[in-house]
Amino acid sequence: MEATSLLRLDGLTKRYPGVTALDGLTIDLPRGLVGLVGANGAGKTTMFRLLLGISKPTEGTIEVCGINVAMDPIGVRSRLGYMPEHDCLPLDQTAADVVSTFGELSGLPARAARQRASDVLDLVGLDEARFRPISGFSTGMRQRTKLAQALVGDPELVLLDEPTAGLDPLGREEMLALVARLGSFGISVLMATHLLDDVQQVCHHVVMIDAGRLVVSGATDSLLERTGFVTVDVGPRSEELVAALSKIGLPAVAGELLVEVTVDGEHEMDTLRDVIADLGLPLYRLTTRLTSLDEVFLRLATSPARA
Amino acid sequence: MISSDHGAVYDRGYRPYEGPRGLRGAAMFALYKASIRRALGIRRSWRQKFAPFVLLGVVTIPAIVNVGIGYVTRDRLENTFEIVTYRDYVGVSSALLLFVALVAPDVMCPDRRQRVLPLMFARPLTGVDYVIAKVGAIGSILFAFSFLPQVVLFLGNMLVSDSASEYFTGHLDVLWKIPVSVLALAMYYAVVSVAIASLTDRRIVAGAAVIGLLLITSIASGILVGDLNRGEGSIAALINIWVLPLYLRDLVFLGNIDPDSPLTEVSNGGLLAVVTYLAILLLGFGVLLRRYRWVER
């Protein structure tokens, strides 16, 4: 039976001589796309090592997909895929050979590993390059190869450590799109990053840690709070709207195309709607501006944890 | 599916794997196979294939020459022609030394240098499995490259002899002596070379260290044996790491240490050779397990 919880940490602590990398983390994460957010040195990579069972916690317990890591690290690893942040590919081999070999290392028979290597390289967009040595790959292609080797064993959970590191904007968007697709394939993702935009774009759930301590854990939507600003797109007559709103005491600022209005409650929202209608302006878009995860992180990093 | 007049592009998506799946044993065997492929240059450029197959040619030449001359002189000589005996042929070629110095670093060092180890140990593989797979791969190749020439020699001698069946029945003992002594030699060189290679991530340093250690201990042993005992034999012969497995070979073939060896006058020389051999194997495995123990922490 499939465990409902993706990851359960109970008082997880990891201390090295002179430094506490993780300090009493207690989290219960659902399946799906989860972002693990924290500054460099916050303990993200340490947590991955603990999840993989290649490092042992000083205190606390970890359950991954319902399996206790301390009791059955091999069983856990056979269900996980891992994409490290650093370069980790044998450069003198082809992508097909590397991914196929890692498929076999994940326990797949040789023929199945070759077939799946071909499939996942196709999935990540390296179908035509798969017989070229990795030494000739760009950073983006290497990142895709790293993702392919993490997927070849058909894992339940993939640990992605800074998957967009070193990528140009287009490569980053493509990588995030790939990560987002994994969720639709039924593969859960734990994505460690210090780029909050990446998490906001892809993940349904966010865990923020700072200096080894839990800052917050929750659904992404629940963390993005309303700011009291409304963004309105009325086309080129935005100055006209700003003037009308100022007359009735609603603060508004015109941008190049959008108008940002400060509203307080439903009553003022109704007023805004009426003003636009009275002026006969087209209403292309009206959205409530939310806080960004950056703002949430900065606000909560110094506050007590909440889960 | 995106289609047009000229064809269609299919998004095959992702297909879950529902077939059989192995754990530690499968992962270890996969690493063993990958290491053998790497060592033999399989799926690599011709330059990587050059060293192993030149070695195989070099170590097989004495057998071919021996059989060839035996065939040419079969009607002229009363006794079977023999330029190399089965015993001498175990570990006869220093090409084996060059081979392990080239191949063991190539199989071990890139995993560290290119930081592939975290990917491997994210699989159902432990540090012990890694060590066994790597030593097993190098040992298997050394065994094959030492054993195959012996097979050529045995079959050739049998075929050029007056009676193949008599030759076979007269040499039944070598059918176990050769594999046992070759196994002892292959295991030994594999453990020593892989252990040394595990200490650095630079192939050239590891290769030089393998050759250097074997040559230095060989020279040091020669100096100590020669100076101290004037041909009477010395326990210092045991520090020659290069020839240590050949004492075991002599024990297998002769039942005692070779009378011409520097250990011959040493009391319990054979026993000491076995103990030293085992101690070096244990030391090598100890180095390897310590080197990869972080996986278990």
Q: What is the pLDDT of residues A189-204, one digit of tens each?
A: 999 988 888 888 899 9
Backbone angles phi, psi at A233, to 5 degrees: -115, 110
Best to test chain B binding among A14, A80, A101 (most B CBs inside 10 Å):
A101
B46 touches chain A (CB under 8 A): no
**Has residue A307 got a pLDDT over 50?**
no
Count residue pairs from A and B with Cβ separation < 8 A.
113
**Between the CA of residue B42 and those of A41, A64, A96, A283, B54, what are the distances in Å?**
41, 38, 14, 66, 14
Are A54 and B23 inside 8 Å of each other by CB?
A: no
CA dist B56 and B143 (Å) reads: 11
Structural domain contains residue A306: no
Beta strands A226-233; A205-210: pairing state: unpaired
Structural domain contains residue A304: no
Q: Would you tell me the crossing angle of helices B127-160 and B174-197 to the nearest 10 degrees?
A: 140
Are A107 and B126 inside 8 Å of each other by CB?
A: no
Q: Using CB atoms, which residue from A110, A116, A182 is nearest to B17?
A: A116
Give chain B positions within 8 Å (CB) of A114: none
Give chain A positions within 8 Å (CB) of B126: 74
Residue A207 C-alpha from the chain's centroid: 10
Which has more confidence, B263 or A64? A64
Give chain B positions within 8 Å (CB) of A55: 297
Are B16 and A93 inside 8 Å of each other by CB?
A: no
**pLDDT per residue over A234-269, tens digit each?**
888 888 888 898 888 888 888 777 888 887 777 888
Are A107 and B43 inside 8 Å of each other by CB?
A: no
Q: Write out the two tokens for A188.
A: 């859960």
Are A107 and B16 inside 8 Å of each other by CB?
A: no
Give the domain-ending residue among A221, A249, A282: A221
Q: Which of A137-146, A149-158, A169-178, B257-266 is the least confident region? A: B257-266
List the domain range (segments joined by +) for residue A46: 5-221
Residues A36-63: b if buried by 16+ CB within 10 A, e if exposed: bbbeeebbbbbbbbbbbbbbebeebebb
Q: Which of A69-73, A275-279, B260-264 is the least confident region? A: B260-264
For A210, half-sphere exposure in the C-beta direction (CA atoms, 13 angstrom radius) is 14
**pLDDT per residue over A41-56, tens digit each?**
778 888 999 999 888 9
Provide ipTM, 2 decimals.
0.86
Q: Do A182 and A79 share a structural domain?
A: yes
CA dist B134 and B105 (Å) reads: 11
Are A105 and B27 inside 8 Å of each other by CB?
A: yes
Smallest CA–CA separation between B114 and chain A, in Å?
Answer: 6
Neighbours of A112 (CB within 10 A): 19
Q: Do A266 and A217 share a structural domain?
A: no
**pLDDT per residue over A218-227, tens digit each?**
888 877 765 6
Kindly report the average pLDDT of chain A as a whole number: 88
Q: What pLDDT, on the 0 to 100 scale, is given for residue B54?
A: 85
Q: Do A192 and A94 share a structural domain?
A: yes
Mean pLDDT of A86-90: 92
- C-alpha closest to that of B261 among B213, B211, B297, B221: B221
Q: Do A231 and A212 share a structural domain?
A: no
Q: Would you tell me the crossing angle of helices B46-72 and B95-113 to the nearest 10 degrees?
A: 160
Q: Report yes or no: A194 and A287 within 8 Å, Cβ to Cβ.
A: no
Q: Could you say which residues from 229 to 288 on chain B have a Cβ atom under 8 Å away from some Cβ of chain A?
A: none
% of chain A surpassing 90 pLDDT: 50
Minimal-distance CA residue of chain B relative to A158 = B122
Are B125 and A105 inside 8 Å of each other by CB?
A: yes
Minimal-distance CA residue of chain B relative to A58 = B297
Q: What pLDDT, on the 0 to 100 scale, is given for residue A45?
A: 86
Q: Do A198 and A177 share a structural domain?
A: yes
* Confidence category of residue A2, pLDDT binned at 50, 70, 90: low
Q: Would you tell me the crossing angle of helices B95-113 and B127-160 to the nearest 10 degrees?
A: 160
Q: Do A65 and A188 share a structural domain?
A: yes
B15 touches chain A (CB under 8 A): yes
Q: Do A160 and A195 share a structural domain?
A: yes
Give the domain-ending residue among A187, A221, A255: A221
CA dist B274 and B276 (Å) reads: 5
Q: Do A42 and A16 share a structural domain?
A: yes
For B48, half-sphere exposure in the C-beta direction (CA atoms, 13 angstrom radius) is 15
Q: What is the CATH number of the domain that holds A193?
A: 3.40.50.300
Structural domain contains residue A300: no
Q: How many folded domains does chain A comprise?
A: 2
B293 touches chain A (CB under 8 A): no
Give chain B positions within 8 Å (CB) of A119: 12, 14-15
Q: What pLDDT, on the 0 to 100 scale, is given for residue A160?
A: 96
Q: Do A139 and A19 share a structural domain?
A: yes
Are B124 and A106 inside 8 Å of each other by CB?
A: yes
Give the pLDDT of chain B (297 residues) as one tens digit per residue. 445 555 555 566 788 999 999 989 999 999 999 999 999 988 887 888 887 888 888 888 888 888 888 888 877 666 666 778 888 888 766 778 888 999 999 999 999 999 999 999 999 999 999 999 999 999 999 999 889 989 999 999 898 888 889 989 999 999 999 999 999 999 999 999 999 999 999 999 999 999 999 889 989 988 888 755 555 678 888 999 888 999 999 999 999 888 888 887 788 889 999 999 999 999 999 999 999 986 655
Q: Write out the two tokens for B242.
A: 């290069």
Q: Report yes or no: A61 and A68 within 8 Å, Cβ to Cβ.
A: yes
**pLDDT per residue over A155-170, tens digit each?**
999 999 999 988 888 9
If DSSP codes are grouped into helix, strand and coil, which group holds residue B9? strand
Give the domain-ending residue among A221, A236, A263: A221
**Has residue A305 got a pLDDT over 60?**
no
Are A105 and B43 inside 8 Å of each other by CB?
A: no
B12 touches chain A (CB under 8 A): yes
- C-alpha closest to that of B246 among B255, B258, B234: B258
Q: What pLDDT, on the 0 to 100 scale, is given for residue B286?
A: 96
* Highest mean pLDDT of the ranges A33-42, A137-146, A277-286, B81-90: A137-146
Are A185 and B14 inside 8 Å of each other by CB?
A: yes
Q: What pLDDT, on the 0 to 100 scale, is given for residue B7?
A: 58
Q: Do A173 and A131 share a structural domain?
A: yes
Q: Report yes or no: B16 and A182 within 8 Å, Cβ to Cβ.
A: no
Structural domain contains residue A295: no
Q: Using CB atoms, which residue from B19, B116, B123 is nearest to A112?
A: B19
Q: What is the CATH number of the domain that holds A270?
A: 3.30.70.980
Structural domain contains residue A73: yes
Q: What pLDDT, on the 0 to 100 scale, is given for residue B262?
A: 82
Structural domain contains residue A305: no
Minimal-distance CA residue of chain A relative to B12 = A123
Q: Report yes or no: A50 and A126 within 8 Å, Cβ to Cβ.
A: no
Are B119 and A81 inside 8 Å of each other by CB?
A: no
Best to test chain A binding among B116, B126, B201, B297 (most A CBs inside 10 Å):
B116
Question: Three-state SS string across chain A, please?
Answer: CCCCEEEEEEEEEEEECCEEEEEEEEEEEECCEEEEECCCCCCHHHHHHHHHCCCCCCEEEEEECCEECCCCHHHHHCCEEEECCCCCCCCCCEHHHHHHHHHHHCCCCHHHHHHHHHHHHHHCCCCCCCCCEHHHCCHHHHHHHHHHHHHCCCCCEEEEECCCCCCCHHHHHHHHHHHHHHHHCCCEEEEEECCHHHHHHHCCEEEEEECCEEEEEEEHHHHCCEEEEEEEECHHHHHHHHHHHHHCCCCEEECCCEEEEECCCHHHHHHHHHHHHHHCCCCCEEEEEECCHHHHHHHHCCCCCEC
Are A107 and B22 inside 8 Å of each other by CB?
A: yes
Question: Which pTM value belongs to this model?
Answer: 0.84
Best to test chain A binding among B9, B33, B111, B123 (most A CBs inside 10 Å):
B123
- Residue B78 is given by DSSP the state S
Q: Do A84 and A176 share a structural domain?
A: yes
Q: What pLDDT, on the 0 to 100 scale, is given for residue B5?
A: 59
Structural domain contains residue A148: yes
**Between the CA of residue B160 and those of A90, A242, B69, B154, B165, what are the distances in Å?**
49, 107, 10, 10, 11
Structural domain contains residue A96: yes
Give chain A positions within 8 Å (CB) of B125: 77, 105
Q: Do A285 and A194 share a structural domain?
A: no
Which has more confidence, B252 or A229? B252
Burial of B217 (0-12, 13-18, 19+ CB in 10 A): middle
Q: What pLDDT, on the 0 to 100 scale, is given for residue A3?
A: 55
Smallest CA–CA separation between B4 and chain A, in Å?
Answer: 21
Give chain B positions within 8 Å (CB) of A97: 43
Are A86 and B115 inside 8 Å of each other by CB?
A: yes
